[in-house]
Chains A and B, each alone.
Chain A
C-alpha cells in the first residue's frame, strides 16, 4: 500500500498570506489528523477528520482550518500567516486499528 502523501513538501510564504496544505491518506483509512511540529512546542495536535466531519480539535486559533473530502483526502488552511506559523506540518491517517501513520510533512517557512 502506498503511504500517506503530503503536498507540497516545502513552502515559503510571507506574513499575512494564506496557505493550503494537502494530505492523501493510506488507501482505506478514513481518519486524517494534522499536527504542527516546532522546536519550541514540539508536536501539537491541530484537528482530526473522519468521514468528512471534524471529530477532534486542538487548541489553535481559528486561522487554522481544515476539511476532508469524500475520498478521505484532507486539506488544511492557515490564513493571515504569522512568523510563528513556521513549522513542519504532519498529516497522519488511521484505519480500524487506530494506529496513526504519518506522511513526510510539509515544511512551511513564513518570512
Chain B
C-alpha cells in the first residue's frame, strides 16, 4: 500500500525566515510520481511540482526548492525568505507507476507566516 507522511502538522515562522516542510513516502512501485500542492484558505489545491522516481535532481523555482532522496524516501520542500502570502496548507502526494493511479495525500502541513 502507498502512504505519505507529513509529520509536521503546523509550522509558524516569522516573515523572511526559511522553512522546510517534510514528506516521507512508502511505495512498492519502482516507478512513481511525487507531488506538492498548496491549499490557500480559498480551498483550491494549487499544483506546485511533480517529480518522477527516476529523477532525483533537486529543483529550484524562485523561492521554492525541493529535495528528493530515494534512499530515505523523502521529498522535502523548502521555502526561502518566507512571505505572508506563503501561509497555506501544503500537501505532499504520491501516485503509482502508471501515472494514472489516484493521488495518495499526506495529512498536510499548515504553514503560518507572521509579518
Question: Which residues on A are within 8 Å of B, measured CB to CB?
Answer: 31, 33, 35, 42-43, 45, 48, 50, 55-56, 58, 88, 90, 92, 97-105, 107
Contacts and interface: CB of A to CB of B under 8 A. Distances in A.
Given A31-B100, A43-B91, A55-B100, A100 B47 contact: yes
Interface of B: 33, 35, 37, 42-47, 50, 91, 95, 99-108
A59 to B, nearest CB: 11
Given A42-B106, A45-B104, A98-B99, 14 more contacts: A35-B103, A42-B105, A42-B107, A43-B103, A48-B100, A56-B101, A90-B43, A97-B50, A98-B33, A99-B35, A101-B47, A102-B37, A102-B46, A104-B42
Contacts of B33: 98
Contacts, number: 52
Given A98-B33, A99-B50, A48 B102 contact: yes
A104 B41 CA distance: 11
A42 B45 contact: no
Nearest to A9: B43
Contacts of B44: 102-105
